[in-house]
Amino acid sequence: MGTILISSAKLVLPNHALHGEVVDILIKDGIIDRVGNKLEMSDKDVQNIDANGLIVSAGFFDLHANFGEPGLETKEDIVTGTEAAACGGYTGVAVYPNTNPPLHSRSEIALVINTAKGNVVDVYPVGSISKKREGKELAEMYDMQRAGAIAFSDGNHSVQQAGLMSRALLYSKGINALVISFAEDESIAGGNQMNEGEVSTFLGMKGKPNLAESLMVSRDLSLAEYHDAPIHFTCISTVESVDLIRKAKARGVKVTCDVAAHHLVFRDDAVLGFDSNFKVNPPLRTDKDVKALLKGLKDGTIDAVVSQHSPHEVEFKNVEFQIANDGIIGLQTTLPLLVMAGLQAEDIVNKLVVAPRQIVRQEIPSLVEGSTANLVLFSVEDKWMFDSTTNRSKSTNSPLFGQELTGKVKAIVNHGQLVENT
C-alpha cells in the first residue's frame, strides 16, 4: 500500500484522545505512523487524500448480512459481497447461515473464512443454532466456534421450539458464545406478506401482526433470564419489542439488539404501489413503530444498526408482490438511510462502529499511532447516485436503486489495502 496521508478529516471515535478534532493521519504500510495537525511529507511517493469536510472513524461493522456462498452464489458471493461492503464503509461483516448448505458445521465455517482470506473486508461467519436450520436438533456449536464462528443464529428461520432455544442458550453460556434470535412466531405470522394494519386492510392483504415478533421476544427474554445467558435480537421492528427489551435491560438481563436501517425510514404505506423491493421480513411497520425504533436508538435500548443485506436474482423479485422473496440489498445504502433517518455523525459511529463490535466481542480499532489502520472516510452531506454504475452487489433489489442519496463513503483502509469510491 505504501504511504498515505489523510489530511483535514474530523475524527469521530468515542474514547479517542482527539475525538471531535480535525486531524491528519499518516499511514505507512498499513500501520498508523502519526496522528496530528498539519502533518507534512516531502516524499513524492506519498498518496495524499484531501479529507476536508469528511469524517474519519474506525471502519463500519455489519452484524447482519447475507452472502450466497456456499450454494447460492448467483445471489451474491464473497467477492461481490465484500466489494459492496467496502463501498458501504464496512471493514467487517458478519454473514448469516442463510446458504445452501447452511453454515451448520465446521466445514462451511472454514470454507467462508478461507475464501475471504486476504480480503480488505473481514468476514465473520455466524453458525446455525440447529442442524440444517430446521429447528429440531442443535448443531455442533462448539466445533463451529473453534473453526471461527462468532455467534449462532438460524438466520431468517426463527427457532420455534422453546426447548431447543433453551438448550442453545444454556450450551452457548457454557462455551462463552452468543445466540442471536430472529424473533417471529410462525404460527402467528402465518406466512403473510406485510404488516397487519390499516394499509393491509385497505389492500386486502393478510398481514403479520406485531404480536408475531413481540411474543417471541418475550419468550426468548424469559429463557435468557432463566439461564442468565446473553442473547441478541436482530432486526427488531415493533414498539412492543423495544419496550420489552428496554424493561429487560433495566432489570439486568444480558440482552442486546439491532434494527435494520430500512426499518428506520420506510413505513408500511410504501407497499401501496406493490413494489416488491419493499417486501422485507420483518415487514415494514407503522409510523408509531418507526418512532419507537428511533427513540430506542437514542436512549440506548437499541444497540446497533444492521444492513440486513439480502440479495436476490431478478426472477425472485421482479414478480407479483405475493410471491416475491423477502429482502433488499443494503450494504451500500445503510449510511444514506441513517442520514435520512436524522442520525448525526457520532450516532452513526456508535451504531455502526462501536456497538456492533462490542456485541460480538471484537476489538474496536483504536486509530492511534502504531496501530493497524482500520478506518473509514465518509461524508453525511455528499450526494451520489445509486445505480448500475455504482452498485457493487450482484443483485439490484433495492427501493433506492436509481435514486440520488445523501451520505457517501469516500474510502476504507484495512489490512494494508485502500479502497476508494469515485
Report which of 65, 89, 60, 73 is spatially closest to residue 327, judged by C-alpha positions.
Answer: 65
The closest of 81, 320, 287 to 195, measured between CA atoms, is 287
Residues of the chain with pLDDT under 70: none
pLDDT of residue 405: 98
In three-state secondary structure terms, 343 is coil
- What single letter denotes the amino acid at residue 103? L
Alpha carbon distance, N-terminus to C-terminus of the chain: 18
Distance separating alpha carbons of residues 224 and 252, to the nearest angstrom: 11
Question: What backbone torsions phi and psi does residue 46 show, to the nearest 5 degrees?
Answer: -75, 130
pLDDT at 265: 98
Domains and CATH numbers, the chain: 3-56+368-420 (2.30.40.10), 60-359 (3.20.20.140)
- pLDDT tens digits, one per residue of 326-362: 999 999 999 999 999 999 999 999 999 999 999 999 9
Grid cell for residue 241: 419489542
Model pLDDT, residue 44: 76
Which grid coordinates are listed for 197? 394494519
Q: What is the pLDDT of residue 143?
A: 98
> Residue 279 has what pLDDT?
97
Chain-centroid distance of CA 125 in Å reads 13
Cell numbers 480499532: residue = 365
What length is written for the chain? 422
- Dihedral Cα 269, 275, 276, 277, nearest 10 deg: -90
Helix (H) or strand (E) holding 256: strand 255-260
What's the pLDDT score for residue 59? 98
Residue 403: name the closest of 340, 314, 322 by CA.
Answer: 340
CB 105 within 8 A of CB 142: no
